[in-house]
Amino acid sequence: MFDVIIAGCGPTGAMLAAELRLHDVRVLVVEKESGPSPAVRIVGLHIRSLELMAMRGLLDRLLPHGRRRPAAGFFAAIPKPAPQGLDSAYAYLLGIPQPVVNRLLEEHAVALGAQVRRGAAVAGFEQDDDGVTVELSDGERVRAGHLVGCDGARSTVRKLLGVGFPGEPSRNDTLMGEMEVSAPPEEIAATVAEVSRDVQRFWLRPFGEGVYSIVVPAAEVGDRAQPPTLEDFRRELRAVAGTDFGVHSPRWLSRFGDATRLVDRYRVGRVLLAGDAAHIHPPLGGQGLNLGVQDAVNLGWKLAAQVRGWAPDGLLDTYQAERRPVAADVLDNTRAQTELSSAEPGARAVRRLLTELMDFEEVNRHLIEKITATAVRYDFGRRPDGPDLLGRRLPDIQVKQGNLYGLLRQGRGLLLDRTGRLTAGGWADRVDLLTDPTAELDVPAALMRPDGHVAWIGDDQRDLDVHLSRWFGGPDAP
Ligand SMILES: Cc1cc2nc3c(=O)[nH]c(=O)nc-3n(C[C@H](O)[C@H](O)[C@H](O)COP(=O)(O)OP(=O)(O)OC[C@H]3O[C@@H](n4cnc5c(N)ncnc54)[C@H](O)[C@@H]3O)c2cc1C
């Protein structure tokens, strides 16, 4: 018997498994592919994800595999320098291939004790008052308290749950892959330079040893459940560039669309959804993986609290209440970026205007903070004149032991107290106390949730106790 079964060992599923293991939750991750996917999709990890990796001690393992680039030029690829005053110790983009992120997250989850079963898909499930019985593609039935669908854009769990997934269908299909090319490099560079002046979503980038990363628009929206063939690439390259560059010996081939959809519900009873299973959007700005990993960190400690029996009423419901608006905002910004990438004269004029507006530092910063998810503020009932920090993430400030995030490895709450008068009392088994009058904080004390968001600000113990109960259950809980 497991506490939680996770369908899918992509970045969302692996991160969620690791977060649950921090609380000793028994986790089984079921992954339909027998080996890791080689598809190199992502631009990189954005600021908020880097902060979360730093919090869990993972950033040092990721850094050697990536390249730091300025936190700039993400919004509709409008080339502007990184804005001043980004309030983070990790104010850069870490360019890193998705297979590396996936592998390191899976290794992290396994090291913490998660079981990963590859080569079996979640094919069905039934839930009752006590748990969920999950049926695997090999016919085995496994029982758990909860099931989380982290099984990507075509999520089986979402379809079986029957929740609505409204939005817009795909209008543009794009082929993407890595393969060898026999045309001379100079000829390729000249053709690409000419064609990409008019054609969006088109590139051939050398990877070394004659291998190229190739992106080319596909004339028709095909069946994305079927991987494209080399012949599809040849045909579309000839249509767009007049030559197929002699492509051969593919490493991997894939296709993606620009559908934009968001689930109506993130939870039905004991079954939840996270990552691409809950939301899909075009890859503009490079946000999907980041959004899924952040879903996982929001959900992990709440589901763990439910399993361990200390979750206050309604805690698990805050997962949807907090994360669905964040996803809706990402969908909206990718819709806006899609319009801004259009070749229509009106859209080009709006793009020129926005490009001018981004010379205003505040506009540039607003857009970068949106894409990098550092602007996220959950609604914790902040009054209009209340402290700005409430509901936001606390940056990695300096404290007497060094950096704050170094104290968040275990995924517990943290009471950061500059007054020296407060205590975590009966919640000390779930919330750590750091008394530090020198902490770089301009409020007397702050209560951080395990996901790093500030849940309370003040200096009054009774008020604090109310908020400890709200987020961490009763004192001396089981
Ligand atoms: C071209 C492109 C570029 C992108 N660039 C970026 C970027 O720069 N930055 C960014 O943040 N995001 C980017 N994305 C998006 C990113 O790749 C996804 O958002 C991310 O992979 C979602 O992670 P996930 O774990 O939710 O889902 P997935 O990565 O899709 O993982 C789902 C897993 O579930 C498995 N699975 C499926 N069905 C089942 C089943 N029934 N049972 C068990 N297992 C199952 C799959 O095999 C897979 O391993 C890009 C996407 C594309 C297409």
Whether the CB of 42 sits within 6 Å of ligand 1: yes
Q: What is the mean pLDDT of residues 376-387?
A: 91
Name the pLDDT band for 222 (thresholds 50, 70, 90).
Answer: low
Residue 307 clears pLDDT 90, i.e. is over it: yes
Q: Are residues 94 and 142 in the same domain?
A: yes
Is residue 223 helix, strand or coil?
A: coil
* Residue 414 and residue 452 share a domain: yes
Domain boundary (220, 242, 257) is at: 257
CA–CA gap between residue 81 and residue 169 (Å, rounded): 34
Q: Is residue 132 part of a domain?
A: yes
Strands (E), 347-463: 398-399, 402-403, 413-417, 431-435, 445-448, 454-457
Q: Over the chain, what is the mean pLDDT?
A: 94
Same domain, 139 and 230: no
pLDDT > 90: percent of the chain? 84
How far is CA 397 from its chain centroid? 23
7 lines ligand 1 (CB under 6 A): yes
Q: Which domain holds residue 439?
A: 398-472
pLDDT, residue 171, reads 86
151 lines ligand 1 (CB under 6 A): yes
Cβ–ligand 1 distance for 204 under 6 Å, the answer no
Ligand 1 contact, 283 CB (< 6 A): yes
Ligand 1: does its nearest atom lie under 6 Å from the Cβ of 121? yes
Task: Give the CATH number for residue 236.
Answer: 3.30.70.2450
pLDDT in tens, 106-144: 999 999 999 999 999 999 999 999 999 999 999 999 999
Arithmetic mean of pLDDT, 277-298: 96
Residue 363 located in a structural domain: no
Residue 372 has pLDDT above 90, yes or no: yes
Contact 123, 136 (CB under 8 A): yes
pLDDT classification of 276: cutoffs 50, 70, 90 = very high
Strands 122-127 and 132-136: antiparallel
In 3D space, the residue among 432, 160, 428, 434 whose CA is nearest the CA of residue 277 turns out to be 160
pLDDT at position 439 is: 93
Q: Which ligand 1 atom sits nearest the alpha carbon of residue 153?
A: 30
- The pLDDT of residue 77: 87
Residue 147 lies in a domain: yes
Over residues 390-428, the pLDDT tens digits come to: 999 999 999 998 999 999 999 999 999 999 999 999 999
User: Using CB atoms within 10 A of its CB, is residue 224 exposed (0-12), middle (13-18) or buried (19+)?
Assistant: middle
- Please choose from 42, 103, 175 the residue to mutate so as to test ligand 1's pocket, defined by most ligand atoms within 8 A of CB: 42
Q: What distance in Å separates the CA atoms of residue 53 and residue 336, rounded to the nearest whole number? A: 29
Distance (Å) of CA 35 to CA 32, 38, 136, 142, 458: 9, 9, 17, 22, 50
User: Looking at residues 192-220, what average pLDDT do you find?
Assistant: 86
Q: Is the pLDDT of residue 99 over 70?
A: yes
CA-based radius of gyration for the chain: 23
Q: Which atom of ligand 1 is found nearest the CA of 98?
A: 17
Q: Which of 115, 135, 151 to mutate to test the pocket of ligand 1 (most atoms within 8 A of CB)?
A: 151
Same domain flag for 233 and 269: no
Instruction: Identify the CATH number of the domain in which residue 431 sits.
Output: 3.40.30.120
CATH number at residue 115: 3.50.50.60
Q: What is the pLDDT of residue 30?
A: 98
1-21 mean pLDDT: 97
Ligand 1 atom closest to the CA of 256, numbered from 1: 53
Distance between Cα 149 and ligand 1 center (Å): 12
Angle, alpha carbons 370-372-373 (nearest 5°): 65
Per the domain annotation, does 182 fall within a domain? yes
pLDDT tens readout for residues 136-172: 999 999 999 999 999 999 999 999 999 999 999 988 8
Give residue 37 CA to ligand 1 midpoint distance, Å: 10
Distance 192 CA to ligand 1 centre (A): 28
Q: What's the number of domains the chain is made of?
A: 3
**Angle at alpha carbon of residue 256, lines to 252 and 262, rounded to 5°:** 135
Residue 97 CA, distance from chain mean position? 14
Rounded to the nearest whole angstrom, what is the distance from the C-alpha of residue 392 to the centroid of ligand 1?
27
Q: What is the Cα–Cα distance from 281 to 371, expressed in whole angstroms?
A: 13
Q: What's the 157 CA to ligand 1 centre distance in angstroms?
A: 15
* 214 shares a domain with 142: no
Q: What are the backbone angles phi and psi of residue 371, rounded to the nearest 5°?
A: -65, -35
Residue 122 Cβ < 6 Å to ligand 1:
yes
Atom of ligand 1 nearest to the CA of 274: 26
> Predicted confidence band at 221 (pLDDT cuts at 50, 70, 90)?
low
User: Does residue 254 surpass a pLDDT of 90?
Assistant: no
